[in-house]
Amino acid sequence: MEVIFSLDYIFYTYNVAISILDDYYLVMTQWTFFTNHGHILFIIALNKSAPVREIAASVGITERAALKIISDLVKDEFILIEKVGRNNIYTVNLDKHLRHDIERECTVSDVTKMLKKAKTK
């Protein structure tokens, strides 16, 4: 069985493939200065009763991913969770030092103060 494609079909398929690759490259090259862990920590520092749905939407990730990150932050003692009725109230450990060697001298408080100051301008 011989299959013959028209040139129009071949060019159309090629252009669709290039468009998909361009979109993929655009998404993969959009980076932010802070990680999702940092974003969630900062959101919680600004709003200690933020629901996971709002946290996830603000960061642009799924609720499941946000819950995983919150679990990481609790495990490493960056935040504490207190259950009040059906809601979570978060407490940020402002005295906790950041993890990487480059910023190990900085505390969560140092960074959140900077972000709060920038947010009020």
36 to 22, 42, 55, 70, 83: CA distances (angstroms): 24, 10, 10, 10, 23
Q: Count structural domains, the chain.
A: 1
Does the reported pTM lie above 0.85?
no
Average pLDDT over residues 60-64: 94
- C-alpha 3/C-alpha 55 separation (Å) is 52
Find the CATH number of the domain harbouring 86: 1.10.10.10
The model's confidence at residue 97, banded by pLDDT at 50, 70 and 90, is: very high
pLDDT at residue 1 greater than cutoff 60: no
Structural domain boundaries enclosing 69: 36-119
Residue 7 located in a structural domain: no
> The tokens 């494609």 sit on which residue?
5
Q: Is 60:35 a contact under the CB 8 Å cutoff?
A: no
